[in-house]
Amino acid sequence: MSLVTTHVLDAAQGRPAVGVPVVLAAQRESGWQTLARGHTDTDGRVRELGPDELAAGVYRLTFDTDACFAGAGFYPEITVTFRITDPTAHHHVPILLSPFAFTTYRGS
């Protein structure tokens, strides 16, 4: 399993958000470096996203929510920026999504 995983739930429909494009990037001195790209599966998860190891640092997941709501949502894209302090720990970053709101948390 990847060190970073995610799960997208469509709270408006009460089911997983399928096919949402997700990009994992790392903050570098020169700017953001894309590390991996994926799409949510039929369970709304991206289980394999990026390398098995990541150094401590600042990372972000960008979710193309326009793909989920066909351009009808308020947020065309959601970016969640987070810090990895323990490079050996698994980091699960899920979002709960609706056309006009979202929330995120550090999952397990």
92 annotated as ligand-binding: no
Angstrom distance (rounded) from CA 20 to CA 70: 11
Q: Per-residue DSSP letters for 19-40? A: S-EEEEEEEETTEEEEEEEEE-
59 annotated as ligand-binding: no
60 annotated as ligand-binding: no
Cα 99 off chain centre by: 17
What residues form the annotated binding site?
Answer: 7, 45, 105
Residues annotated in a binding site for substrate: 7, 45, 105
